[in-house]
Structure 1
Amino acid sequence: MEQFKIENLYTLSETIAADIFEGVTYPWEVLPKIKDFIVKLGNSLPEDKYEKRGENVWIAKSATVFPSVYIDGPAIIDEDAEVRHCAFIRGNAIVGKGAVVGNSTELKNVILFNKVQVPHYNYVGDSVLGFKAHMGAGSITSNVKSDKTLVVAKSETGDVETGLKKFGAMLGDMVEVGCNSVLNPGTVIGKNSSVYPTSSVRGYIPPDSIYKDKGEVVIRNI
């Protein structure tokens, strides 16, 4: 399924984690690998730019991390990132250069590319957010199906069995998610697309689109 492939969703030069995508076809294939990848990468980071704080937590010296933040390793907070008041990073998280993790936002098993913004009351779990992706206040990724069955990535042209019980959302570069939206398990949103506020999104949204409601997706005027 071409639309699900890594090269059609992400600019790999915009993440410190580019190497984790080598040898895989779909971005969700990296989710089980994030923990070990962070430990390996973290131990190779230059000490003049990154400080190790606690067990398997590396924070760039140029990053801003508020005193009230909780970070459980493994985790990497890259250069010029900002992690704000009461953010909760539960582990297996890579926060990209210049990214913003905001007030009371929770991260778990995620890769945030450079310049990603999850700035207000977001939950992002078992997900990959591309360059400059933005989630509006209160928007979340739902990462487990209610019946606890394995997640399937679905589109109009076909489905892909992921083999994963936990799979939130894959957001391509420059995706905008409106406030208080829910991205259901297995959601994949193509580059440069937007989601209306208070949406419940499921399945695949093509690039350069606007998601208004279920069954109402329009191509953006470029």
Structure 2
Amino acid sequence: MINISHFINSFSSFISDKTIQPWEAIDNLDNILKDQLENVTADFVTTESCTIHPTAIVEQNVTFKGRIIIDEGAFIGANAYIRGPVYIGKNVKIGPGSEIKQSMIFEETAVAHFNYIGNSIIGSRVNFEAGSICANHYNERKDKEISVLFNAEIIKTGIQKFGSLVGDDSKIGANAVLSPGTILVRESIVKRLELVEQLP
């Protein structure tokens, strides 16, 4: 079993269930965000299904779809595409032209320009350089169910869309690709142009 709090300190204050698996949290993210809305302060502004703290900066031509919470001090660069359900934590920076889909990104993380993060849980103080990708689907395989490798054990998720669990203080180099089902411990370093495949 994967305890997400061992990877991301802030996770336990967001979701108290220590048994929930990363792909289960992502699969149930819309309901999780509904519950989180009960905890946001009165100064948050809600428009349709998007809830944004007034200190967050959203540049021009950003597209929001689905349920989204953007916490205080966050920055969303021009032409970004945020496809809910998505949680963007305190002081997170999403660069211009990036796409975030069905993911949680915790505080102080920086996602540079032209990145894609799909169906993933990203820890605090993680840095994604430009063009890096958290892929969430095995387009090239006949069997598209995603499995993860953890403690030398292969765990079947039972789902076809799951990206990565990236631990706190990790660094992902420019144009690197994290394959579906990638699990990175805290302070992981992925080199520029590196492909991370944990399963054959």
TM-score, normalised to structure 1's length?
0.83
List per-residue Cα deviations over 1:67-105 (Å, max 9, x = no partner): 321111200010000001111001100000000011100
Q: 1:159 aligns with which of 154, 167, 173?
A: 154
Q: Is the contact between residue 39 and residue 56 of structure 1 (CA under 8 Å) also seen in structure 2?
A: no
SS for the counterpart of 1:120 is coil
The whole-number CA distance in structure 2 between the counterparts of 1:101 and 1:129 is 13
Q: How does 1:1-222 map to 2 (within 5 A)?
A: 1=1, 4-12=2-10, 18-48=13-43, 50-53=44-47, 55-146=48-139, 147=141, 149-155=144-150, 157-203=152-198
Deviation at 1:9, TM superposition (A): 0.6
The whole-number CA distance in structure 1 between the counterparts of 2:78 and 2:85 is 20
Shift in CA distance, 90/158, structure 1 to aligned 2, threshold 3 Å: same
Letter of the 1:127 partner, please give it.
S
SS for the counterpart of 2:42 is coil
- Aligned sequence identity (%): 29
TM-score, normalised to structure 2's length?
0.92
Higher strand share: 1
Letter of the 2:25 partner, please give it.
V
Structure 1: gaps spanning 5 or more residues: 205-222
Moved over 6 A (4+): none
The whole-number CA distance in structure 2 between the counterparts of 1:153 and 1:31 is 14
CA RMSD of aligned residues (A): 1.9
List per-residue Cα deviations over 1:171-197 (Å, max 9, x = no partner): 000110000011101001110110110
Letter of the 2:161 partner, please give it.
K
The whole-number CA distance in structure 2 between the counterparts of 1:176 and 1:141 is 13
Letter of the 2:4 partner, please give it.
I
The whole-number CA distance in structure 2 between the counterparts of 1:155 and 1:202 is 13
Q: How many residue pairs are counted as aligned between the two chains?
A: 198
Deviation at 1:156, TM superposition (A): 6.3
Q: Is the contact between residue 97 and residue 115 of structure 1 (CA under 8 Å) also seen in structure 2?
A: yes
The whole-number CA distance in structure 1 between the counterparts of 2:121 and 2:89 is 11
SS for the counterpart of 1:192 is coil
List per-residue Cα deviations over 1:131-151 (Å, max 9, x = no partner): 111111000011011225210
Letter of the 2:37 partner, please give it.
G
Moved more, 23-32 or 71-80: 23-32
Moved more, 61-70 or 23-32: 23-32
